Amino acid sequence: MFDRRILLTTVAGLFGLSAFRWLRGTPAEAGEKAAEKFEITKTEAEWRAQLTPQQYEILRNHGTERPGSSPLLKEHRKGVFACAGCDLPLFASDTKFESGTGWPSFYQPIEGNVGKTEDRTYGMLRTEVHCRRCGGHLGHVFDDGPKPTGLRYCIDGFGLVFHPAAASAT
């Protein structure tokens, strides 16, 4: 009886430890994005001086805006959504769709401009997306989007700026 309790306690402890490590991620995973080299690097003071408080919270601290709070949620003009940190074009307006989530959603980024990392925060396994040029956090990508990709890039609108397409001469 005594040996069985020790065995069960040991097994439960090892299971709990491995679950904790999985939920928080390993140090290598935590530093994965930090180890990535970006074309644009600035000090935190420089980022704070350049960005609004909302932009800084999202792009630099991996924050999340309240659903429905971004003015870009209802932006339907033709143009490009770019990184608010470095102005790299990230999403074409024709890839934007209404997901009903309260965040601007796109089914495809501009090729090569959005990076991905594993995110294990909040006890979930998700794919975080960031700007390839400055490393700014943009949001997450999920596999419940529309055709043709089946992906939903759920993006914090305060991490973006919108550039309308130039009016064509008639």
Which one is catalytic: 83, 131, 134, 154?
154
The yes-or-no verdict on residue 8 having pLDDT over 70 is no
| 38-164 CATH choice from 3.10.350.10, 3.40.50.1370, 2.170.150.20, 3.40.190.10 | 2.170.150.20
Place of tokens 């971004």: 70
Q: What percent of the chain has a predicted confidence (pLDDT) above 90?
A: 71
The yes-or-no verdict on residue 61 having pLDDT over 50 is yes
CB contact at 8 A, 56 and 48: yes
* C-alpha distances in Å from residue 6, one per residue of 16, 100, 150: 15, 51, 48
Identify the pLDDT of residue 26.
Answer: 41
Identify the pLDDT of residue 60.
Answer: 97
User: Is 154 marked active-site?
Assistant: yes
Identify the pLDDT of residue 36.
Answer: 76
Mean pLDDT over 10-23 rounds to 50
pTM, two decimals, is: 0.79
Identify the pLDDT of residue 123.
Answer: 85
The yes-or-no verdict on residue 19 having pLDDT over 80 is no
Identify the pLDDT of residue 161.
Answer: 98
Helix and strand counts by DSSP (H, E) for the chain: 5, 9
Identify the pLDDT of residue 20.
Answer: 46
Confidence of residue 22 (pLDDT cuts 50, 70, 90): very low
33 backbone dihedrals φ, ψ, rounded to 5°: -70, -40
Which residues partner with 152 through β-bridges?
142
CB contact at 8 A, 90 and 138: yes
Please give the Cα distance from 144 to 123 (Å, whole number). Answer: 20
The chain-wide mean pLDDT, for the chain, equals 86
Identify the pLDDT of residue 35.
Answer: 60
Over the stretch 77-136, which tens digit does the pLDDT of each residue have? 999 999 999 999 999 999 999 999 999 999 999 999 999 999 888 788 999 999 999 999
CB contact at 8 A, 138 and 91: no
Domain extent listing, the chain:
1-30, 38-164
* C-alpha distances in Å from residue 9, one per residue of 5, 16, 19, 22: 6, 10, 15, 20
Please give the Cα distance from 165 to 71 (Å, whole number). Answer: 18
Mean pLDDT over 8-21 rounds to 52
